[in-house]
């Protein structure tokens, strides 16, 4: 990839275009179906089923649980894309809207909320419910992706088919976490370079990454209760502080009005946005964005499933589903509504050439510089950098935990993988982004240079479409069998 980047990009783009063209409509349809299926399950009588014993209390409090599931699924890249993603839709809006026009603004402010919203979190949630039910209710002896398919595959779960499912998941997760660390690190380094007014360098970026690796390695060592949960809570507190600061010292009235209008616009156009511009599943906008995101979520879904299943013992299916959809969607929306709309305000009012910065200096620099425009904004940058580091750590320590869980043959509810096993995966995850960032050192915008690795992850996701269908069918089969004689 670094030796012949142009050829690699062409090959990867061609491969992704083939997948998106032939399976694009499948991704869009399954996304809608999964959301409807989970809402039915949560609102039906089956929503009362408890993951564990009938009288069992939740293992973690609501705040700790919601903080862990949110920080597990979303890393510091949310700071980057929450601030900058609207630019893409503003310059290249869908449905024939003129670029950079007043009509493009509603699409620009609402599409990010949609893509990081309830459908994406539904794709995350289905494996969590299927794996959690198999693990906590049916007492399947290991916490793996294949566990969610046990009701259909039976003993084949322990054979080549089950191992293949787990292998695909682990490869996809390593790619996602490695590329994710690579994407997030430039965001951290941008806060440092903007605060000290120095040029960005590979030394600063790699140093930030090494600090993050050390943080999540220590967290993984202490396990879920003392490590991941505490780090996740800290991350949420810091997120509230950053967003509240921008809300108060930024264009408050504009943020409230634009956010409200964006939510209303998205709600009215939810079906239209889910289907995408015509032709269905074939438009360049859908292939570049909605299909791209759904494929990413499908590739990352089993990781979320394993971790959320682990921390959800004692919760009802209703609480698990509605909590995941609700907290995840709300948390992401706040970043787009506050950080994204703040940057939009600076652009359309001529206070800062945000789009020029995005085009010439990169998305990470734009995200940091949009904060410095506020009162004392420069002095908040170090706090934003620390917040991003903690955000990165919470995502990747849960990733190391789930990889260790998947590679453990037997693990009973409430148990953790061996410490050495968790530390091994924590270090292993950090090796890939180090290599990626060093390879992208000559790029003016490392985020763009790392995109081929993101595409590779997407190309691994098609087998997960079949796995998801097996999980949904197996889940309902298990529930029907277990509730034949029960009065829910």
Residue boundaries of the structural domains of the chain: 5-482
Answer whether residue 6 shows pLDDT above 70: no
pLDDT of residue 436: 62
Query: Of residues 260 and 307, which shows the higher confidence score?
Result: 260
For the domain covering 5-482, report its CATH number: 1.20.1740
Q: Is 173 helix (H, G, I), strand (E, B) or coil?
A: helix
Nearest one of 398, 385, 70 to 227, comparing CA atoms: 398
As beta bridge partners, residue 316 has 50
CA distances from 297 to 142, 172, 241 (A): 23, 11, 28
Q: Over pLDDT 70: what percentage of the chain?
A: 88
Query: Of residues 33 and 419, which shows the higher confidence score?
Result: 33
The predicted model gives 345-365 an average pLDDT of 93
Residue-wise burial string across 445-481, b where 16 or more C-beta atoms lie within 10 A, e elsewhere: bbbebbebbbbbbbbbbbebeebbbbbbebbeebbee
Answer whether residue 2 shows pLDDT above 60: no
**pTM as predicted:** 0.91
Q: What is the spatial distance between Cα 178 and Cα 164, in angstroms, rounded to a whole number?
A: 21
pLDDT of residue 37: 97
- What's the pLDDT band for 406 if we cut at 50, 70, 90? confident
The predicted model gives 447-457 an average pLDDT of 59
- What's the pLDDT band for 446 if we cut at 50, 70, 90? very low
């Amino acid at each position: 990839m670094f030796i012949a980047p142009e050829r690699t990009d062409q090959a990867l783009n061609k491969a992704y275009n083939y997948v998106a063209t032939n399976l694009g409509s499948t991704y869009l349809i399954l996304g809608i179906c999964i959301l409807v299926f989970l809402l039915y399950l949560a609102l039906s009588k089956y929503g009362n089923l408890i993951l564990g014993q009938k009288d069992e209390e939740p293992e973690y409090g609501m705040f700790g649980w919601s903080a862990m599931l949110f920080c597990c699924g979303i890393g510091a890249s949310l700071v980057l894309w929450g601030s900058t993603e609207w630019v893409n839709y503003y310059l290249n809006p869908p449905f024939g809207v003129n670029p950079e026009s007043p009509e493009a603004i509603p699409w620009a402010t609402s599409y990010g909320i949609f893509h990081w919203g309830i459908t994406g979190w539904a794709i995350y949630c289905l494996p969590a419910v299927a794996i959690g039910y198999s693990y906590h209710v049916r007492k399947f002896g290991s916490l793996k992706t294949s566990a969610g398919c046990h009701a259909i595959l039976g003993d084949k779960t322990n054979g080549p088919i089950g191992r293949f499912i787990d292998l695909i998941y682990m490869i996809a997760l390593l790619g996602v976490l490695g590329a994710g660390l690579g994407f997030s690190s430039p965001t951290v380094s941008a806060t440092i370079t903007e605060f000290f007014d120095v040029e960005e360098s590979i030394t600063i970026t790699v140093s930030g990454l090494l600090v993050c690796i050390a943080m999540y390695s220590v967290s993984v060592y202490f396990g879920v209760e003392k490590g991941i949960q505490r780090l996740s809570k800290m991350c949420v507190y810091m997120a509230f502080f950053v967003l509240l600061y921008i809300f108060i010292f930024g264009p408050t009235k504009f943020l409230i009005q634009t956010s409200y209008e964006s939510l209303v616009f998205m709600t009215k156009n939810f079906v239209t946005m889910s289907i995408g511009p015509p032709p269905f599943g074939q438009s360049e906008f859908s292939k570049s964005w909605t299909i791209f995101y759904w494929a990413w979520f499908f590739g990352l879904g089993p990781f979320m499933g394993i971790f959320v299943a682990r921390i959800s013992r004692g919760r009802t299916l209703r609480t698990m589903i509605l909590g995941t959809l609700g907290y995840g969607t709300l948390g992401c929306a706040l970043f787009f509504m506050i950080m994204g709309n703040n940057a939009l305000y600076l652009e359309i009012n001529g206070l800062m050439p945000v789009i020029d910065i995005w085009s010439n200096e990169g998305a990470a620099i734009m995200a940091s510089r949009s904060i410095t425009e506020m009162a004392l904004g420069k002095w908040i940058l170090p706090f934003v950098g620390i917040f991003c580091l903690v955000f990165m750590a919470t995502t990747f320590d849960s990733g190391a935990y789930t990889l260790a869980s998947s590679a453990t043959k037997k693990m009973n509810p409430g148990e953790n993988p061996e410490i050495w096993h968790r530390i091994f995966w924590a270090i292993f995850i950090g090796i890939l982004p180090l290599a990626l960032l060093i390879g992208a050192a000559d790029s003016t915008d490392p985020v763009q240079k790392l995109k081929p690795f993101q595409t590779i992850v997407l190309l691994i996701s098609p087998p997960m479409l079949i796995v998801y269908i097996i999980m949904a069918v197996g889940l309902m089969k298990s529930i029907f069998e277990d509730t034949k004689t029960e009065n829910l």
